[in-house]
Amino acid sequence: MRLMMGLVRFCVSDSWVWSDDMRLFAGVFVLLLAVFAVVVAQTSFYEVSRESYLSNDYAKSINLLESEPAPNFSTYINLANAYYMQGNNAAALLNYRRAQMLQPRYAGINEQITLVKARANTLPRQSDQDNLGKSILAIANSFTVNELGLASLVLWLAIWGILIRHKLKNAQINLPYQAIIPLIMAFLAIGLLFSVRLYTTLGQPAAIVLQSSIVRSGPSADYPTLFVIDDASEIAITGQQEQWIQFQAEDGRIGWMQDAAIEKIN
């Protein structure tokens, strides 16, 4: 870092005559040097975390990964693995889900999530009801919001491109329905998946229960107790009033609990 600052001061000083090309070259060189330093530091950071994990020092590995200022997929997946080995099912599930948000089709992540929930005994009971809705949700969740949004945009532009080209070329020629109808159908299907994914992400954000909590019928400790929800349970937040959240659990049960007991995935 001191070397880079010295180079910067030297480049902008009047003690040496620099041409514009030389200044540009020096600036690019300093920028590349800074990027290289960041990459080396990041690599060293993950190496220390990995060594701690391999030596069964999961707490140190977790502390290092939690201090990452800009967590990415690797951060979340490694955090999840460390929490899992430490026996913290809720934190492991939270980070597996965060990793899945970034790469929903990552090999093995669904199996690992199932394993965590099985160990925590929070797997939802199987139901034959609303299979269509669950299938649509499962397909939507296999893509990121950005992927579905980009696909919708590309299809929309393709449809309008065909219409504009047809209009400019010759309005007397029949519209190429064999090309545009499949695009419209694909646009509607992708648009449906995009709407579902966006709604489940923003409209009813998912969260993980970090500690077992009492669920009540209303947003206050004065309301009757409905049941106790286990840690490592997944919920969809449907409302909030001060420090209380209204939610629906995976098994369909609804109620209110304090927001300190949960953490949103996104």
What is the C-alpha to C-alpha distance for residues 122 and 25, in angstroms, rounded to an integer? Answer: 59
pLDDT tens digit string along 158-182?
888 888 877 776 655 566 677 788 8
Fold of 2-120: 1.25.40
Task: Give bridge partners of residue 245 from the DSSP assignment.
Answer: 240, 257
Burial 143-160 (b: 16+ CB within 10 A, else e): bbbebbbebbeebeebbe
What is the C-alpha to C-alpha distance for residues 223 and 244, in angstroms, rounded to an integer? Answer: 12
User: Is the pLDDT assigned to residue 193 strictly greater than 80?
Assistant: yes
pTM here? 0.76
pLDDT tens digit string along 212-238?
999 999 999 999 999 999 999 999 999
Pairing mode, if any, of strands 262-264 and 206-209?
antiparallel
Fold of 206-264: SH3 type barrels. (2.30.30)
